[in-house]
Amino acid sequence: RRRGFPEVVLAEGKTSEQVVKIMESLAEYHSNILATRAEPETYELVKQIIPEVKYNKLGRVIILERRPLPRKGSVVVVCAGTSDLPVVEEACETALIMGNEVKKLRDVGVAGVHRLLDNLDILHQARVIIVVAGMDGALPSVVAGLVDKPVIAVPTSVGYGASFNGLAPLLTMLNSCAAGIGVVNIDNGFGAAYLANSINKMGI
Amino acid sequence: RRRGFPEVVLAEGKTSEQVVKIMESLAEYHSNILATRAEPETYELVKQIIPEVKYNKLGRVIILERRPLPRKGSVVVVCAGTSDLPVVEEACETALIMGNEVKKLRDVGVAGVHRLLDNLDILHQARVIIVVAGMDGALPSVVAGLVDKPVIAVPTSVGYGASFNGLAPLLTMLNSCAAGIGVVNIDNGFGAAYLANSINKMGI
Amino acid sequence: RRRGFPEVVLAEGKTSEQVVKIMESLAEYHSNILATRAEPETYELVKQIIPEVKYNKLGRVIILERRPLPRKGSVVVVCAGTSDLPVVEEACETALIMGNEVKKLRDVGVAGVHRLLDNLDILHQARVIIVVAGMDGALPSVVAGLVDKPVIAVPTSVGYGASFNGLAPLLTMLNSCAAGIGVVNIDNGFGAAYLANSINKMGI
Amino acid sequence: RRRGFPEVVLAEGKTSEQVVKIMESLAEYHSNILATRAEPETYELVKQIIPEVKYNKLGRVIILERRPLPRKGSVVVVCAGTSDLPVVEEACETALIMGNEVKKLRDVGVAGVHRLLDNLDILHQARVIIVVAGMDGALPSVVAGLVDKPVIAVPTSVGYGASFNGLAPLLTMLNSCAAGIGVVNIDNGFGAAYLANSINKMGI
Amino acid sequence: RRRGFPEVVLAEGKTSEQVVKIMESLAEYHSNILATRAEPETYELVKQIIPEVKYNKLGRVIILERRPLPRKGSVVVVCAGTSDLPVVEEACETALIMGNEVKKLRDVGVAGVHRLLDNLDILHQARVIIVVAGMDGALPSVVAGLVDKPVIAVPTSVGYGASFNGLAPLLTMLNSCAAGIGVVNIDNGFGAAYLANSINKMGI
Amino acid sequence: RRRGFPEVVLAEGKTSEQVVKIMESLAEYHSNILATRAEPETYELVKQIIPEVKYNKLGRVIILERRPLPRKGSVVVVCAGTSDLPVVEEACETALIMGNEVKKLRDVGVAGVHRLLDNLDILHQARVIIVVAGMDGALPSVVAGLVDKPVIAVPTSVGYGASFNGLAPLLTMLNSCAAGIGVVNIDNGFGAAYLANSINKMGI
Amino acid sequence: RRRGFPEVVLAEGKTSEQVVKIMESLAEYHSNILATRAEPETYELVKQIIPEVKYNKLGRVIILERRPLPRKGSVVVVCAGTSDLPVVEEACETALIMGNEVKKLRDVGVAGVHRLLDNLDILHQARVIIVVAGMDGALPSVVAGLVDKPVIAVPTSVGYGASFNGLAPLLTMLNSCAAGIGVVNIDNGFGAAYLANSINKMGI
Amino acid sequence: RRRGFPEVVLAEGKTSEQVVKIMESLAEYHSNILATRAEPETYELVKQIIPEVKYNKLGRVIILERRPLPRKGSVVVVCAGTSDLPVVEEACETALIMGNEVKKLRDVGVAGVHRLLDNLDILHQARVIIVVAGMDGALPSVVAGLVDKPVIAVPTSVGYGASFNGLAPLLTMLNSCAAGIGVVNIDNGFGAAYLANSINKMGI
Ligand SMILES: Nc1ncnc2c1ncn2[C@@H]1O[C@H](COP(=O)(O)O)[C@@H](O)[C@H]1O
Ligand SMILES: Nc1ncnc2c1ncn2[C@@H]1O[C@H](COP(=O)(O)O)[C@@H](O)[C@H]1O
Ligand SMILES: Nc1ncnc2c1ncn2[C@@H]1O[C@H](COP(=O)(O)O)[C@@H](O)[C@H]1O
Ligand SMILES: Nc1ncnc2c1ncn2[C@@H]1O[C@H](COP(=O)(O)O)[C@@H](O)[C@H]1O
Ligand SMILES: [Mg+2]
Ligand SMILES: [Mg+2]
Ligand SMILES: [Mg+2]
Ligand SMILES: [Mg+2]
Ligand SMILES: [Mg+2]
Ligand SMILES: [Mg+2]
Ligand SMILES: [Mg+2]
Ligand SMILES: [Mg+2]
């Protein structure tokens, strides 16, 4: 009988062949597997060996979910714009396969704070909030100021110039005026969801 | 007859003696003079030569204003917390002596966005807005998103650790999601007010 | 009846398909739309759906201008060399579609300061000046020293080596010896023009 | 009747006088107050006004705890050496006044991994783990690899040379090979405890 | 008679033609030659001129070993994951051709410290240990804490975001809590092996 | 008979006692000695042993010049403001004791380019030009654009915030749009003068 | 009659079409033109319009030299290895077309200091020395210590990892223990030669 | 019976009281103890409790050596100038108490390479060489090029401006053109000696 808790493979920095081989061998003992940062070509190769896999193209995630875990609690993933969506999708797929109920809240950037205020109820229903933001990285501060939940902040490499590939929002988030924020690596949707899962499952 | 438009001396990096000498010689031809970044000791020395000078201790500014310019238009200076006040004061004194009406709006940080919303009318009455912020430097983005005025953003060196002496809010502001923001050097309240003055006087 | 004030889409970091979809839906309610950082391929796709669009190849801007706003006041865009032109064009197209009269002044770098002095009258006729400069980023200091107008400085990523993709001119501009300069992000011609527009329209 | 949930004042960047004034006015409506980064002199001044305050000298924290909250759940604070203790103390005092049971585990650096393994039971009993580490910042990775709890990592500015005032352990922690780690600002014991509290209270 | 001690060529930054020419002329006087950072195409070209050469594809190393040196002492090369293998291979090939007995120990990252403890005997049999690690770069600290041998640490550029192409593990290693570690450049498997060779041969 | 060509001691990073001892022993064989970065206390101590020494307080230079070299050619040292004067003085004293004719040109910053143009004749009479500048560091570009002489640029650590202790003008100067500029270390007036001397003496 | 002193075009950052157009129009009034950083394709296009042009492939320089200037004085260009040759070639072509006698000295790196000592006579015959070096950038220090000539140091972006694209040798050169060194931008062979020319021509 | 192998305490970042307490308790079980980075005041306090301690003022090291280990093999510590001596002393004291024969070689900087060549025999007699260097950090490259021994390079924070507190020589050393160099943290004389000891003892 295979283990239900998902294994996660980081495809980036591996050849497609290496990913296929790793997933194949993991699939013997694990019902649920995720491969993050996977290119479409890698997905096509994996699919020939494990036909049940699915692919989230935007999030670049290959998903094998043969025995879905029951989805509990509630993780809300918040972002401002279209360009942060790949990281949002990586976070959502990770949280889902780990057995979390997930809601997305997008187009709620700090430059239009009213949109965020209009969705306060969604934030209040969350147990943990993941906030994904590039450029000025200001969104986690505003969200953490509005609600009293653990907030996980993910800076993204979206933007240009003085964003320095995500350094700007990373520093912003580490210096947040609002307390209660834990920061993960630039573009690390997976890491944010992993931490959110371990928080969300507390007391459940 | 002395010129009304103020001269500004940067006291930092000069000895007290040098500042006294410069102010003394400027005072012959200029009615109004400001010395920024001036220590109390420098003020005491200057006062012995030019008894009319005043001192803004928090803002570290020496003020000689013998023929005040009429105060026109409206510049609003916004900040979040107590630690940004020195920069706020430098900006206000500069704007005042240059002949601008000045309003301060403090304690309106992004971690409590409702306080900012409660003061929207003050922002709407401004012709130019100076936003002073350290740490996450997120305030200019929210302000520029709320009102359609020129916003001048001043990062401050307040904070510690990954603020890297103001680098964090500087990068945040340069990467703002909201358009219409011009950024000046870290802690440069003077520069912000100088630019605000040149904008505020347009069409007046 | 569609709104006249232009919408702006940042094409960079979006797929051509995403840009087409966004422009199509915006075009229902907005007469004037700009897409910045858009590749020729994206333009070709957009053109099939919205045949009126034009393309500024150098500035990589797609322009839909069905109800041109009246062009008021005067924004002057200054630069030194050929390599800064893409940023200059982005700034000009943005300023134009927002209803500003725009003049360009090129080939006036600090290494040949006489060319700049020969064009002082153009600078004096401006209401706002945008200065685009890469490498040493020294031009805004000289311009702001010559005329008493609001200056918006745009560092560019042009250059190599110790320019560090625009970090060098960015720092130069933030440390300008001349007061009255607001700085925007590296290569951010759009942001400079947006701020210039909001200043230029004051008192008009 | 005063509110039980503690208010926290950051004394750094404020004068002793400002801190006294702020604590005095907060003390009217709040039973429990903490002032972090407070010098002994500030404590002496505050004590003259509010005699019940205590002082944690190592952690530089002034504590007013008139109606202690019941201490629930369990937060474990882990560190390697003597030099990280100030940050550990700041974290512990914050967690205590917010109503958390707190255990300290020290002298368990990665250069002697057996000491850590000898204390695995303490880690397993935690609901949340705060790991404080300077220099190589490697401890959170090892801890998060050993137990399946939310880990909050605090880099410290302890060390010299290529530690660059805490930049080295900050980067280490953001790049941890072990998932489930949220990072806070360099030396930010307060922020770590605040986040730990909000996690620890889940489901209690 | 050709010299036995190997020559090493860094192919990176040279054209294939340059590498071929250099290897050809070296091959006259040297029995053993290594070309590191060599692309498959370069290998194919070299092979046409010097048919005995072999290629380690993962390590990108071309090997000409006509008179193998006797393999002495013992160098152990340790790493955590699949993505560090190219650097591991570069180190191993270099150490081998220089006449060292080499053992590899992989999949022993700090996030699963028990795997490392299970292999303590291999570490104890080493005369010198090379530890290759990317991301958090924490492995050398743990290894140097476990055994009393010279440790050579090689940071890798593997990872993303705040790894900043290997800067993060480089700083980690320079700040190691465990003494007895010498650090080489990012991805410099060759340099690590060269130093390991000169240490391993002492007293042999 | 003592050697005429001056010896130079860098006092910074040495104790006063070390400086005295070094100067004393050098004074036996050298007629002319300079100690740069020397505090007044060091000067007082040296004076007790070698009564002929003089002290340039602003430039922090101790001067022993027993057999002045004939002053040849012409080195012009240019700067913008009062705060750069210490570096200017260090450069001038070094150039003088090495036997160069030296002229100073101050108050000629880029923010007032006309002052510089008014002094073109002095620039044209120079054989080598040293330009000292902090903050935006733009002055060498303008000077090198105006005249066709070797220009040596010295960035200074004057300024604050995003000057990052002289990094900003250093990068500016390395990226100068005008060719013909050699850059020395931040605040290195000595190094600039040493290079200027070796250029000025060519063909004399 | 065309001007003999060469014009220089920086092809990098321009399209081939732009380079062709600029060279064509310059060629009317200038006998000698150089285009640096030019790709082979650009050369082919230029050749169709101006058939006399030559191309230095390694140095990526297009050369039009219709009225060669007489070659005077002596500039020596020194480097350590094969990978620095492109920058060496750019410097040599620039110095040649400007009318300097040029000698190259290669394979004289600091890791084999005897090769350098064997060539001391060449260094002593120089009037100016350009030293091109990547990686540790140590060569200019050794050269400037050996001979008493103006040294121009050019850091190169050759190398990997902690070379950070030339930052490492740039910093090394700015901090040289040997006086008399002026530094130019990373890879800026052109700038070094331009400065060398203006020094070499002194007193000739 | 106390253990002979020395314990080492890092006094920096600890109060004098903490150091005294730690040394006192270590002294019960260890014959030999070193406290590095210790101020004179700390030494005075320790001396009152453990009268046998000695103090190396320049190296800031407190030494308790009750049962000196026999001094074996040979470690040579090389440096260029006076300002690097504190780090040299820290390294020497550490190597001595650990039972190594130690030789110092000073005043052998790269700017006068002949002094180094005159001392080649000392380098050839070494088993391990520690090279301490600030500013350009070029010395390890030259030394490692001259002799075929393990070289440990220690960058120092000596210097100013673009040395960035030792970053410049650190990068230089990591990028050395000569192979066989292991680098330790800036100013880390202790770490260099610890590694040198473990290498020197091989095969003895
Ligand atoms: N997108 C990601 N970013 C960072 N870490 C990841 C990511 N995806 C997976 N991981 C981590 O990488 C581990 C697998 O790495 P590997 O064994 O190299 O495939 C997982 O257990 C996760 O801890
Ligand atoms: N606080 C300040 N920050 C930046 N620049 C300033 C400041 N105060 C004055 N300045 C500028 O410095 C100039 C005076 O410099 P100085 O002649 O050196 O006193 C003024 O004209 C202003 O342009
Ligand atoms: N070239 C540009 N650089 C920076 N920001 C831009 C640029 N073009 C558009 N924007 C901003 O990005 C917003 C649109 O972003 P989006 O909704 O992602 O298309 C616009 O409203 C502008 O504020
Ligand atoms: N390789 C180079 N690196 C830096 N600057 C260069 C280079 N080649 C030419 N230049 C400079 O760039 C100027 C030409 O720039 P442009 O007018 O943009 O072609 C020349 O006059 C030189 O000052
Ligand atoms: Mg909150
Ligand atoms: Mg707005
Ligand atoms: Mg102006
Ligand atoms: Mg875990
Ligand atoms: Mg060990
Ligand atoms: Mg010139
Ligand atoms: Mg010399
Ligand atoms: Mg060697």
Average pLDDT for chain E: 95
Compute the residue count for chain H: 204
Q: Helix, strand or coil for residue C54?
A: strand
Averaged over C154-170, what is the pLDDT?
97
Whether D80 and E171 lie within 8 Å, measured CB to CB: no
* G-contacting chains (≥3 CB pairs under 8 Å): C, E, F, H
Residue percentage of chain D with pLDDT more than 90 = 93
Question: In the predicted model, is pLDDT for residue G3 greater than 80?
Answer: no
Distance CA D52, CA D24 (A): 12
Residues with CB under 6 A from ligand 3: A 81-82; B 179; C 8-10, 36-37, 188, 190-191
Using N-to-C axis directions, what is the helix angle for B85-97 and B189-200, rounded to 10°? 40
Distance CA A165, CA A175 (A): 18
Residue percentage of chain H with pLDDT more than 90 = 93
H158, H160, H162, H167 alpha-carbon torsion, rounded to 10°: 30
Q: What's the pLDDT band for F140 if we cut at 50, 70, 90?
A: very high
* DSSP structure string for C102-125: EEEE-S--GGGHHHHHTTHHHHHH
Residue H74, sorted as left (phi over 0), alpha (psi -120 to 50) or beta, turns out to be beta
Tell me which residues have their CB within 5 A of the ion that is ligand 7.
C 144, 148, 180
Across the interface, of G183, G194, G204, the residue whose CB is closest to F180 is: G194
Query: What's the pLDDT score for residue C5?
Result: 81
Query: What's the pLDDT score for residue A81?
Result: 84
Interface confidence: ipTM more than 0.90: yes
Average pLDDT for chain C: 95
Give CA E126 to chain center in angstroms: 15
Whether the Cβ atoms of residue D14 and residue B82 lie closer than 8 Å to each other: yes
Query: What's the pLDDT score for residue F58?
Result: 95
Whether F83 and B157 lie within 8 Å, measured CB to CB: no
Look at ligand 1, atom 14, and give the residue with the nearest C-alpha. Answer: A9
Digit-coded pLDDT (tens) for D89-118: 999 999 999 999 999 999 999 999 999 999
Tell how many helices (H) and how many strands (E) occur in chain C.
8, 9
Q: Helix, strand or coil for residue C201?
A: coil
D121 CA distance to ligand 11 middle (Å): 65
Distance CA B174, CA B140 (A): 10
Across the interface, of D10, D12, D185, the residue whose CB is closest to B162 is: D185
Provide, as residue numbers in chain E, all residues whose Cβ is less than 8 Å from the Cβ of G161: 155, 157, 165-166, 170, 185-188
Question: In the predicted model, is pLDDT for residue E1 greater than 70?
Answer: no
Look at ligand 3, atom 22, and give the residue with the nearest C-alpha. Answer: C8
Residue of F8, F10, F190 lying closest to H83 (CA atoms): F10
Distances (CA, A) of H202 to E202, G163, H72: 6, 32, 11
Distance CA A197, CA A95 (A): 6
Distances (CA, A) of H88 to G49, H11, H122: 64, 18, 17
Provide, as residue numbers in chain G, all residues whose Cβ is less than 8 Å from the Cβ of H168: 171-172, 174-175
Residue percentage of chain E with pLDDT more than 70 = 98
Q: Helix, strand or coil for residue H148?
A: coil
Digit-coded pLDDT (tens) for D115-170: 999 999 999 999 999 999 999 999 999 999 999 999 999 999 999 999 999 999 99
Whether the Cβ atoms of residue D173 and residue E136 lie closer than 8 Å to each other: yes
Provide, as residue numbers in chain E, all residues whose Cβ is less than 8 Å from the Cβ of D113: 113, 117, 142, 145-146
Q: Helix, strand or coil for residue G184?
A: coil
Averaged over F130-156, what is the pLDDT?
97
What is the CB neighbour count within 10 angstroms for residue H107?
13
Closest-CA residue in chain A for B143?
A111
Digit-coded pLDDT (tens) for B90-143: 999 999 999 999 999 999 999 999 999 999 999 999 999 999 999 999 999 999
Return the higher-pLDDT residue of A5 and G49: G49
Query: What's the pLDDT score for residue G168?
Result: 97
Whether the Cβ atoms of residue B142 and residue B110 lie closer than 8 Å to each other: yes
Return the higher-pLDDT residue of A153 and E180: A153
Averaged over C89-114, what is the pLDDT?
96
**Ligand 2 atom at shortest distance from the alpha carbon of F81:** 18
* DSSP structure string for C124-187: HH-SEEEEEE-TT--HHHHHHHH--S-EEEEE---S-GGGGGGHHHHHHHHT-SSSSEEE--TT
Distance CA H93, CA H89 (A): 6
Q: Which residues pair with C109 in a beta bridge?
A: none
Whether the Cβ atoms of residue H75 and residue H100 lie closer than 8 Å to each other: yes
Residues with CB under 6 A from ligand 4: C 81-82; F 179; G 8-10, 36-37, 188, 190-191
Across the interface, of G179, G183, G199, the residue whose CB is closest to F194 is: G179
Torsion angles phi and psi, residue B43, rounded to 5: -55, -45
Q: To test ligand 3's pocket by mutation, which of C93, C190, C195 has the most ligand atoms within 8 angstroms of CB? A: C190
Q: Tell me the ligand closest to C153's alpha carbon.
A: 7
Look at ligand 4, atom 3, and give the residue with the nearest C-alpha. Answer: G188
Q: Helix, strand or coil for residue G20?
A: helix
Whether D160 and H18 lie within 8 Å, measured CB to CB: no
Torsion angles phi and psi, residue A79, rounded to 5: -150, 170
E16 CA distance to ligand 12 middle (Å): 28
Distance CA G169, CA G173 (A): 6
Q: Tell me the ligand closest to B11's alpha carbon.
A: 2
Closest-CA residue in chain E for D109?
E177
Look at ligand 2, atom 6, and give the residue with the nearest C-alpha. Answer: B10
Query: What's the pLDDT score for residue D204?
Result: 80
D143, D146, D152, D156 alpha-carbon torsion, rounded to 10°: 10
Look at ligand 2, atom 7, and give the residue with the nearest C-alpha. Answer: B10
Distances (CA, A) of G102 to C162, G74, G75, G92: 27, 6, 5, 7
Provide, as residue numbers in chain F, all residues whose Cβ is less than 8 Å from the Cβ of G148: 198
Averaged over H83-99, what is the pLDDT?
97
* Alpha-helix runs per DSSP H in chain A: 16-26, 40-49, 85-97, 113-117, 120-125, 139-146, 167-174, 189-200
Tally of CA atoms within 13 A in the half-sphere of G1 that contains its CB: 3
Give the minimum alpha-carbon distance from B136 to chain C in angstroms, rounded to a whole number.
17
Question: In the predicted model, is pLDDT for residue A1 greater than 70?
Answer: no
Kindly state the tokens that stand for D87.
């940050």
Across the interface, of F80, F144, F177, the residue whose CB is closest to C80 is: F177
Return the higher-pLDDT residue of G139 and G82: G139
Question: In the predicted model, is pLDDT for residue A161 greater than 70?
Answer: yes
Across the interface, of F175, F198, F202, the residue whose CB is closest to G185 is: F175
Tell how many helices (H) and how many strands (E) occur in chain G.
8, 9
Residues in CB range of H121: below 8 A, 6 or more apart: none
Query: What's the pLDDT score for residue D1?
Result: 58
Question: In the predicted model, is pLDDT for residue H1 greater than 70?
Answer: no
Query: What's the pLDDT score for residue D203?
Result: 81
Using N-to-C axis directions, what is the helix angle for C16-26 and C40-49, rounded to 10°? 40
Q: What's the pLDDT band for E203 if we cut at 50, 70, 90?
A: confident
Query: What's the pLDDT score for residue F5?
Result: 80
The secondary element (H helix, E strand) that includes residue B76 is strand B72-79
Averaged over A124-132, what is the pLDDT?
97
Whether the Cβ atoms of residue D124 and residue D147 lie closer than 8 Å to each other: yes
Provide, as residue numbers in chain A, all residues whose Cβ is less than 8 Å from the Cβ of D191: 179-181
Q: What's the pLDDT band for F1 if we cut at 50, 70, 90?
A: low
Q: Tell me the ligand closest to G142's alpha carbon.
A: 11
How do E181-183 and E151-155 pair as beta strands?
A: parallel
Distances (CA, A) of E152 to A4, E166, E192, H154: 40, 16, 6, 15
Q: Tell me the ligand closest to C123's alpha carbon.
A: 7
Torsion angles phi and psi, residue F117, rounded to 5: -65, -35
Look at ligand 3, atom 8, and give the residue with the nearest C-alpha. Answer: C10
Provide, as residue numbers in chain B, all residues whose Cβ is less than 8 Å from the Cβ of C127: 202
Averaged over A121-144, what is the pLDDT?
97
**Ligand 2 atom at shortest distance from the alpha carbon of F111:** 23
DSSP letter at D69 equals P
The secondary element (H helix, E strand) that includes residue F101 is strand F100-105
Amino acid of residue E127: R
Look at ligand 2, atom 2, and give the residue with the nearest C-alpha. Answer: B190
Digit-coded pLDDT (tens) for E51-73: 999 999 999 999 999 999 999 99
Return the higher-pLDDT residue of F81 and B4: F81
Averaged over A136-151, what is the pLDDT?
96
Closest-CA residue in chain G for C168?
G185
Return the higher-pLDDT residue of F4 and G158: G158
Query: What's the pLDDT score for residue A61?
Result: 98
Distance CA E115, CA G28 (A): 74
The secondary element (H helix, E strand) that includes residue A181 is strand A181-183
Tally of CA atoms within 13 A in the half-sphere of F73 that contains its CB: 23
Query: What's the pLDDT score for residue C204?
Result: 81
Look at ligand 1, atom 21, and give the residue with the nearest C-alpha. Answer: A8
Question: In the predicted model, is pLDDT for residue C2 greater than 90?
Answer: no
Averaged over C161-175, what is the pLDDT?
97
Query: What's the pLDDT score for residue B202?
Result: 92
H58, H63, H67, H71 alpha-carbon torsion, rounded to 10°: -30
Return the higher-pLDDT residue of C80 and H88: H88
- Chain H positions contacting chain F at CB under 8 Å are 82-83, 158-163
Averaged over C120-132, what is the pLDDT?
97
Q: To test ligand 1's pocket by mutation, which of A10, A17, A25, A61 has the most ligand atoms within 8 angstroms of CB? A: A10
Residues in CB range of D191: below 8 A, 6 or more apart: A179, A180, A181, D154, D184, D185
* C-contacting chains (≥3 CB pairs under 8 Å): A, B, F, G
Give the minimum alpha-carbon distance from D158 to chain E in angstroms, rounded to a whole number.
11
Query: What's the pLDDT score for residue D81?
Result: 85
Digit-coded pLDDT (tens) for G133-149: 999 999 999 999 999 99
Torsion angles phi and psi, residue D99, rounded to 5: 90, 40
